Amino acid sequence: MPWGELGAQDLTQWIGLWVAALLTLAVLSYLVGENPLFRLAQYLFVGVAAGYAAALAWNHVLAPRLARLAQSPGEAWPYAVFVLLGLLLLARGWRPLAPLSSIPLAMLLGVGSALAMGGALTGTLVPQAAVSFVSLAPASYGGGLRGWAYALDAAFLLFCTLAALATFQYRRAGGGPLRLWYTGVQTLARAGRWVIMAAFGAIFAGAALTYFTVLQSRLDFLLFEWLGGLFGWGR
């Protein structure tokens, strides 16, 4: 419906539609080069995102814990330690107390690294190794053409996993009885590089598809909701 026929349409919704359309155009203006409109939209998005994250952190993390600490200090005393560590981070802005900020930073890096390593092991490496222990016999999948298809799929999965893991060995093939072993591992590692490249390509394709989907949604918004409402050709 054209905007001229809206009548009692909520003014807030009308202003929000225009703001969304103008900001979308400001972001798309980067296609012709960096310009003040794009920088304004960029700063606005970063500022709004930072403000929203700060509001969420205060309302859902800090405020409830401070309230509980004030109500029952004896039970919620660990929250006092967390608050103290957070305040020590602010000391980085004052040179005499700046060394104190190294304490919470060291804890953040240590705990973050441990969580990342634990997550990589329990969430990626161990499950991937576990699913590699599969039967390669067609009879295990019911036999026939279907069984052979599942067996070949399991064999391909096992080969790709071993090849990708072999890529991360950096020892050269030496002499002696292990020379044949090292040569085989290096050959498998060369295949693993192609496996990793294919995986990265699939990830990049998925990301590009997501970007194009978002772009299409914004173009649909401009064409049908904004201009369509202005000239009366909306859906």
With bands split at pLDDT 50, 70 and 90, how would you rate the model's confidence at 235?
Answer: low
Q: How confident is the model at residue 98 (pLDDT cuts 50, 70, 90)?
A: confident
Alpha carbons 85 and 75: distance in angstroms, whole number = 19
More confident position, 231 or 176: 231
CA atoms within 13 A on the CB side of 120: 6
Residue 20 has pLDDT above 60, yes or no: yes
For all residues of the chain together, what is the average pLDDT?
A: 85
- Average pLDDT score over residue span 140-144: 82
Across 38-42, 113-117, 130-134, least confident range: 130-134
**Confidence category of residue 208, pLDDT binned at 50, 70, 90:** very high
Q: What is the DSSP annotation of the chain?
A: --GGG-SS--HHHHHHHHHHHHHHHHHHGGGG---HHHHHHHHHHHHHHHHHHHHHHIIIIIHHHHHHHHH-TTTSHHHHHHHHHHHHHHGGGSGGGGGGGHHHHHHHHHHHHHHHHHHHIIIIIHHHHHHT-----GGGGTSHHHHHHHHHHHHHHHHHHHHHHHTT--PPP-SSTTHHHHHHHHHHHHHHHHHHHHHHHHHHHHHHHHHHHHHHHHHHIIIIIIHHHHHT---
pLDDT recorded at residue 37: 92
Assigned token pair, 3: 């905007």
Quote the percentage of the chain above a pLDDT of 70. 91
The pLDDT of residue 171 is above 70 = no
pLDDT confidence bin for 48, thresholds 50/70/90? very high
Pick the range with the lowest mean pLDDT from 36-40, 60-64, 80-84, 180-184: 180-184
pTM for the complete prediction?
A: 0.63
**pLDDT on residue 110:** 93
pLDDT at 6 over 60: no
Residue 2 has pLDDT above 60, yes or no: no
pLDDT tops 70 at residue 200: yes
Q: How far apart are CA 197 and CA 190, in angstroms?
A: 11
